[in-house]
Every structure is written in C-alpha cells, then in structure tokens.
Chains A and B, each alone.
Chain A
Amino acid sequence: MNAAQLLNGIALGSLLMVLSSGLAMIYGLRGVTNFAHGALYMSGAYLAYTLSDRLSFWAALVLVPVILAVIGVVLEMVFFRPLQHRSHIELGLITFGLALIAERLVVLIWGEKTLSVDPPPGLTGTTSVLGVDYPTYRLGIIVVALALAAILVMWLRYTRTGLYVRAASQDIETAGIMGIDVNRVSLIVVSFGAALAGLAGTLAAPYVSLDPNMGNSFLIIVLIVVVIGGIGSIGGAMVAGMGLGIIQTVSTVWSPSVAVVVPYVALVVVLLWRPQGLAGKRVS
C-alpha cells in the first residue's frame, strides 16, 4: 500500500460520501429508499459530458446540480408529496421504475457506447503529494467532496433549516405538530439530495468511464453504505462511505477478486454484529 492507493480510496470514499448522504437525507424525510439515486448520479455524469463538450467543465459543475435539483423538485412534487400516505415500499418501488426509465432514456439520448470526459485544463497532469505523483484532478475531487461534506454538516447543525431537517428525520409527525412545514423541508431535501447526486456524477465523470450501467453498480454500493452506516443516519452514511471507499480501494492492491466482495462482506459483518448499522436506529 502506498500513498497513491490511499488517495484513490479517499477519492472513491468522498464520492460515496456525497451520494449516500443525499440518499440518507431523503430516507430520513420521506422514509423512502430512493432507488433512482443511481440514475440521478448517472444522469449527472452524462449531462456533464454534454455540457463540458459544449461549454466547459466548470459550467457543467455549476449547471448540472441546478438541473438535477429541478429534477428533484419534480420528483418531490409528482411522486413523493402526493403519495406520501402510501406505504414506503410502494413509493420505493416507484423510484425503482423511475430508475429503469431513466436508464433507458440515457441510452436513447447518448447511446450504449462507453464515453469519457476530459478533466478541465487546469487540473490535468499530476501533483506531488507525500512523495508520490498523483493525478491533480483526483485531488480536486477529494477537496470538493470534503468541502461539500463539511458544508452539509454545518448546514444541518447550525442553520434553522438544518434543524428542521434533523427534527423531521427523527419524527416527521411530531415535527409537523411543532409547526415545521414538513412538505417544504422535504422539497428542500429531495432537490438538494438530487443536486448532490448530480454533483457527484459530474465530479466522477472525468474519473470513471460513462456507461448506462454506472448508475446501478454505484447504487448498490451506496445502498450498502447506507445500511452499514445505519439507515437514515447522515453521519453514519458519511463515515461508512469514506471507510468503505478506502478499504475497497486498498484491498484492490493485493487482490482484485477480494476487493469486489469487500462491500458485501462488510455488510454481512455489520449486520451480524450491529443489525441497526453503525450509527442507526433499528433497520426497518
């Protein structure tokens, strides 16, 4: 193991952190596992491909989260809000259907070929970190994702809206009785969660290759992260995402075969040892 591998792990971990905290926030508010989260991430990456081609990568970095936030608003207004009294399972399965549709739309628009995005001009090449030459762009991912995580934590801890979000995820009914407009909080959280997924997709676009399966494969890892962290716990999801990213990347060095099953093994171990997840209430 060397510093480069560790940094790769942190880069993957920071992407997982951003995605899974969005998923955990939506779960906390609406009780729904958003199976379309992988599709949102994928759409973000593909939109970044087109926007960085037409305009620039920096424009994509700003515009993609905005577009995804609008999709999040649609998601909340059309599905989550009108159907909030249905069972959570039904709503979760609806997002599953949405993911199927989104995946197909991506293929219809961009084709099935694997695409790649170039890192922005200022961030090509390598930088020397701890004695190794490391791709500058990946350092960029780490910096942006960690900054985002820090902003998210501050927002949840120190702002009034953050307080509402925390209250509503703990007990949505009581929060409503106490005068919190739960629908408004949910709108903010769902659009913010979707924007985070879009941002993660944009950040990942120059780092991974784009294919119509990228959403699904990432979704499963993110679901595992959320279960390990404790369903609905944003802090738990962040810690588990970073931890899993590092462990998986580092284990790739000595055995790629083992590395693929690491998330699943971690899931089973955590379930046996702490069924409610690292930081969660009971899994239900």
Chain B
Amino acid sequence: MSVTTLPDAPPADVVAPRSRRRPGRTLLGAGLIVAVLLAGLSVPYIIKDPYTMGLVLEMALLGLPALGIGFLARHLGLISLGHSAFFGAAAYSVGIAVNRWDLSLTAAVGFAVVVGTLVSLVMGVLVVRASGMGFLMLTLALSMALWQLALQTSFRPWTGAHDGLLINAGADASFLGMGPREIQDPGLFWAGVWVSLMGAALVLWLVGRSRFGVLLEGIRENEERMRFSGYGTFLPRLAAFTLTGVVASLGGALFAVNAGYISPDILGFTRAGDSLIAVLIGGPASLAGPLIGTGLFVWAQAHLNFGGNLHLFTGIALILVLVFLPGGLTGAVQRIARALRKGGSR
C-alpha cells in the first residue's frame, strides 16, 4: 500500500518504544520490584540449608555488578569487562579501612562504596569516549591494571598481595546491628543484601525509564546525531557508567563484610569474564536477565564444576547462546511472548 511506504511515516519500531514508556508501566514495574523485594525477604525462612542459603546469598551479591553491566549494555550498548574492578576495589577498601584504620564495618562499607565509585569515575573518564570493541578492551585493560596493583609485593601491608586479605573486624564488630557471628551467617545477612539488590534494581529501572534514560538510548542509537541535536554525550555516558559503578561497589563492599576474606582473584581476568558471561547468558535486554544469568552461573559453579571443567561449560554455553539465542535466555522468552501476542491478536 502506498500509505505505509510514505517516507515520513515513522516505522513501527520507532513508535513502539514511545508507547512502551507510559507512566503506568513504569509504576507497574516499580511496584513489581517492591513486591519481589518484600517476598524475597522470606527466603531465609524457606531455605534452611546453610550451604544453599550461602549460594543464594552469593547470587544476590554478584547480582549487583551484573545489574550494572546489564544497565550499560541495555541503555548504552556498551559491554563492560571492568565491573569486577569496582566490586574488587570496594571489597579491598573494606579490608583496608578495617585493618589499617580501625574503622567500624558500617563506616568501612560507606568508605568502600565511595572508593569504588571514584575508581569507576576515573575509569569512566578514560573509557566512555570509546564504544564497541574499544570499550570492551579498555575496560578489560584498566581492570587488569588494578589487579596487578593489588598483587604488588610493595602493597603487601595493605592488600596482602597473592595471599589475599583477611579482614580482622575484632570480636566486637557490628554491622547493621549484627554481631561478628551473624555477619557470616548467610540467612541473617540476607536481608541487607536483598534490600540493596532490589533497591539498586529499582533505581536503575526508574533511571532507565526517565528522561535521562531516553537520552542514553538516543546516544546508543546514534551518538553523532545526538551531538548534532545539541546534547552533550560525554557527561551522560560518564554519569551512567559511574552509576553502575556505585551499584557494583555496593556489591563488593557487602561481599567483603560477609566473606571476611578477599582473594585477589576477585579482580582477575577470570572473574571479569565470568560476570560478563553470566549477564550475556541471562540476557542484558531486561532488568531481570543479568540476575537470572548470575543465579544460573553461581548454581553451575557449585554443581557443574567437576574436575575444574566449569570454564569448558561456560565457554560452550556462551558460544551457543551468542550464536543461537542472541539476547540471552530472557531475550528468547521475550521473543516467544511477543510472537504469541502477535499470533493471538490476529
């Protein structure tokens, strides 16, 4: 039909996002996140087994940087291998603040989030001008720089170099009203982590659907055109990058408090790759995708790691997902749902 081929008729997928951005849906999503938050608080009462509870806690802790990686991929199209650096920097900061300066755990967590955020700000200044492959390579290189620094023998008094860092919070340590024994108990520590995770998810959801989120998507689609339209693109990219850095740092700080020991591996190449793979397998196109992917990854790490062959499987899974299911698991579910809806309306 001639009407549909008119050049100034907007194509369907340009209209679609606008109609999807109804305030009702934003509120619905926010309400859903709050409901999941409240429901999730009951998890320690359902899972009695401390080992399983520990795994679930690890999923939630690693879910924080994954949320950040997913947000950058979704709204800016940037694939980051650097978020393990913010997670690790914050974890090390907790250890250094407690061991060297006798800060309380609560103050140390605050300090750690600030340090992690600063690291992400500095890295952001250096990398957000790049995109695509360049961005991936630069975030990898700079996070490896941090790993090398943590391993330096001259920093042994602070980071413990290859030995890792044991956090000596003392017998009277307390964090959010919990004593040293409760902190290490995954069931009791759960509430704080879960609230942080869902709080971060809520913030990222609302930011993604705000005016700022639309601006980011504009930059993702065509950076040059956004600049022609009078928008600065450097600061919004930097702000988004740093915001995800805050989320990842929060995860690292809470991880350090709960684990009480930091291995330099958390800054390493393998960890950086693992968290990105988890996000890609879950599918970065939705808010829940990175969390589902991270959950699956932690589960696989615990149950499929026979003979140390975990990376053989994750490598194969990554390739299969990228070749056959681009968009990850949640992307596939969304595609099926969309196809069903289309079929139903016909």
Contact = CB atoms under 8 A, between A and B. Distances in A.
Interface of A: 27, 31-33, 83, 86, 88-90, 92-94, 96-101, 103-105, 107-108, 216, 220, 223-224, 226-227, 231, 257, 260-261, 263-264, 267-268, 271-272, 275, 283-284
A93 B280 contact: yes
Main secondary structure of the interface of A (DSSP, over half): helix
Nearest to B311: A100
B311 A89 contact: no
A143 to B, nearest CB: 30
Contacts of A275: 129-130
Contacts of B312: 100-101, 104-105, 108
Interface in B121-136: 126, 129-134, 136
Given A86-B326, A227-B137, A275-B129, 10 more contacts: A89-B136, A94-B322, A96-B277, A97-B322, A99-B315, A220-B144, A260-B148, A264-B141, A267-B142, A284-B134
B19 interface: no
Contact of A224 (B141, B154, B277): B141
A257 B145 CA distance: 12
12 contacts: A86-B326, A89-B136, A93-B322, A96-B318, A97-B315, A99-B315, A100-B315, A108-B309, A223-B137, A257-B152, A260-B148, A267-B145
Nearest to A213: B269
Interface residues of B, number: 39
Interface in B75-99: 79
A32 B132 CA distance: 10
A231 B138 CA distance: 11
Contact of A33 (B129, B136, B144): B136
B152 A223 contact: no
Given A264-B145, A271-B126, A227 B134 contact: yes
Contacts of B153: 257
A109 to B, nearest CB: 12
Interface in B209-248: none
B315 A231 contact: no
A83 B141 CA distance: 26
B133 A220 contact: no
B145 A261 contact: yes
A89 B322 CA distance: 10
A230 to B, nearest CB: 11
B133 A31 contact: yes
B314 interface: yes
A271 B142 CA distance: 12
